[in-house]
Amino acid sequence: MGESWEAQNKSLPVGRTLILGGLFRDPGRTVMLSADCHIEVPELSCEKHEEADTRMFCPIQSTKH
C-alpha cells in the first residue's frame, strides 16, 4: 500500500505533507511525501509495535517549530 501512495505523491495538494510509516514491505520504513518532495525519514523508522506510538507523535511535535 505504501509503495502505491509513494508513487502518487505528485497528486497531493500543494502545501500538504503526508508521512507514511508501517505501510511498506519494510515495516520500519517511514517516508515524508508532498507534491514536490519525497524524503526517507530514518528518525521515525521503527520495526516493533511498541515504538509505533512514538512514531505517530513525532511528526505532530515537529510541526510546532
- Please state the domain extents for the chain: 2-62
Rounding to the nearest 10 degrees, give the CA dihedral for residues 6, 16, 39, 60: -110
Question: Buried b vs exposed e over 24-45: b needs ≥16 C-beta within 10 Å?
Answer: beebebbbbbbeeeeeebeebb
- What confidence score (pLDDT) does residue 64 get? 46
The pLDDT of residue 63 is: 52
Note the pLDDT of residue 54: 55
pLDDT of residue 4: 84
With a cut of 50, list the residues of the chain below it in pLDDT: 61, 64-65
Q: What is the pLDDT of residue 26?
A: 85
pLDDT confidence of residue 28 = 82
